[in-house]
């Protein structure tokens, strides 16, 4: 994929407008964990974590990048505070740490590393692996997670190890899709492979986040035993984007057979194990 062009004046103006709306929303809404205490500068956004007092700098290239940052940090898409079982999940995280192991977090569809950075700030003791098939996004993710323990892998998550092709449907750098292809240039890597690699480092599965633009249909088509290893699975489904494909069918069929809570919040499903 070609590198995104520098933001135009109009694009910078739009981002500035979005930031102004964010500041207004802070003033009228309940307290948030992250705030953008400075307006967006060209290519970057400064954040303040009100929980830890830490300042974060994230690098952005496009309006899509800023919108992703808004979802992850300002809208708190992946935070547990909104879940009735958030306390259970945090206790399970602490149990893994106290046992002498590192909780494993897999960020599937890592994009430019913003979700991985959020998880790293929230769970600094975790081993976080961000899997993303687009090279330009991977390079940006390395910048955004440079001060953390996040490992980035240039690949797409799949049910089996193999190869695929990256497709650009014209939705921006957070909308790339993957198709299986034996001679494709994109590496496919399975969750089972990642778990096996992590266990060799004394890691225990804790959280898996999946936002892979419809490839979840393939991911959940077979070899899904890994689901039960994760206390929490967070996924965005894409039937809304791919009408008349029943894209979520494999996920729904698989997850409905397991003893897990199903919580819909915003764009994501939170699937929470009931056996811990």
State pLDDT tens for residues 71-84: 999 999 999 999 99
pLDDT at 235: 98
67-100 b/e (C-beta count within 10 Å ≥ 16 → b): ebbbbbbbbbbbbbeebebeebbeebbeebbeee
Cβ atoms within 10 Å, residue 182? 8
Average pLDDT of span 151-180: 96
Average pLDDT of span 258-272: 97
Q: With 60 as the cut, is the pLDDT of residue 28 above it? A: no
pLDDT at 40: 78
pLDDT at 120: 98
Q: With 90 as the cut, is the pLDDT of residue 212 above it? A: yes
Q: With 80 as the cut, is the pLDDT of residue 248 above it? A: yes
Instruction: Write down the architecture of domain 86-273 according to CATH.
Output: 3-Layer(aba) Sandwich (3.40)
Q: With 90 as the cut, is the pLDDT of residue 4 above it? A: no
Q: With 80 as the cut, is the pLDDT of residue 153 above it? A: yes
Average pLDDT of span 57-68: 92
Q: With 70 as the cut, is the pLDDT of residue 216 above it? A: yes
Q: With 70 as the cut, is the pLDDT of residue 29 above it? A: no
pTM of the model: 0.89
State pLDDT tens for residues 91-118: 999 999 999 999 999 999 999 999 999 9
What is the location of CATH 3.40.50.150 in the chain?
86-273
Spatial CB neighbours of 239, under 8 Å, sequence gap ≥ 6: 245, 246, 247, 248
pLDDT at 202: 95
pLDDT at 38: 81
- HEC string of the chain equals CCCCCCCCHHHHHHHHHHHHHHHHHHHHCCCCCEECCCCCECCEEEEEECCCCCEEEEECCCHHHHHHHHHHHHCCCCCCCCCCCHHHHHHHHHHHHHCCCEEEEEEECCCCCHHHHHHHHHCCCCEEEEEECCHHHHHHHHHHCCCCCCEEEECEEECCCEEEEEECCCCCCCCCEEEECCCCCEEEEEHHHHHHHHHCCCEEEEEEEECCCCCHHHHCCCCCHHHHHCCEEEEECCCCCCCCCCCCHHHHHHHCCCCEEEEEECCEEEEEECCC
pLDDT at 37: 79
pLDDT at 43: 87
Q: What residues are paired with 154 via a beta bridge?
A: 132
Please state whether beta strands 260-265 and 186-190 pair in parallel, antiparallel, or not at all (unpaired).
unpaired
Average pLDDT over the chain reads 92
Rounded percentage of the chain residues whose pLDDT exceeds 90? 84
Q: With 60 as the cut, is the pLDDT of residue 5 above it? A: no
Residue tagged 């994230």 (tokens): 58
Q: With 70 as the cut, is the pLDDT of residue 24 above it? A: no
């Amino acid at each position: 994929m070609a590198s995104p062009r520098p933001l135009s004046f109009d694009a910078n103006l739009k981002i500035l407008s979005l930031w102004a709306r964010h500041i207004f929303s802070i003033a009228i809404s309940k307290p948030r964990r992250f705030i953008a205490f400075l307006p967006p500068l060209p290519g970057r956004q400064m954040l303040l974590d009100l929980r830890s007092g830490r300042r974060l700098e994230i690098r952005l290239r496009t309006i899509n990048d800023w919108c992703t940052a808004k979802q992850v940090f300002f809208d708190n898409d992946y935070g547990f505070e909104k879940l009735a079982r958030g306390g259970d999940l945090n206790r399970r995280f602490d149990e893994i740490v106290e046992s002498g192991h590192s909780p494993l977090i897999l960020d599937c569809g890592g994009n430019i590393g913003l979700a991985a950075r959020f998880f790293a700030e929230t769970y600094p003791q975790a081993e976080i692996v961000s899997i993303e098939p687009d090279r330009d996004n991977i390079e940006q993710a390395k910048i955004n997670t440079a001060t953390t323990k996040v490992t980035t892998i240039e690949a797409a998550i799949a049910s089996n190890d193999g190869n695929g092709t990256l497709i650009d449907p014209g939705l921006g750098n957070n909308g790339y899709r993957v198709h299986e292809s034996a001679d494709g240039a994109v590496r496919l890597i399975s969750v089972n492979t990642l778990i096996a690699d992590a266990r060799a480092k004394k890691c225990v599965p804790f959280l898996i986040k999946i936002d892979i633009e419809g490839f979840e249909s393939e991911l959940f088509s077979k070899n899904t035993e890994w689901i039960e290893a994760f206390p929490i699975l967070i996924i965005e489904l894409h039937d809304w984007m791919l009408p008349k494909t029943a894209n979520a069918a494999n996920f729904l069929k698989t997850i409905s057979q397991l003893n897990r809570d199903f919580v819909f919040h915003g764009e994501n499903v939170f699937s929470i194990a009931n056996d811990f």
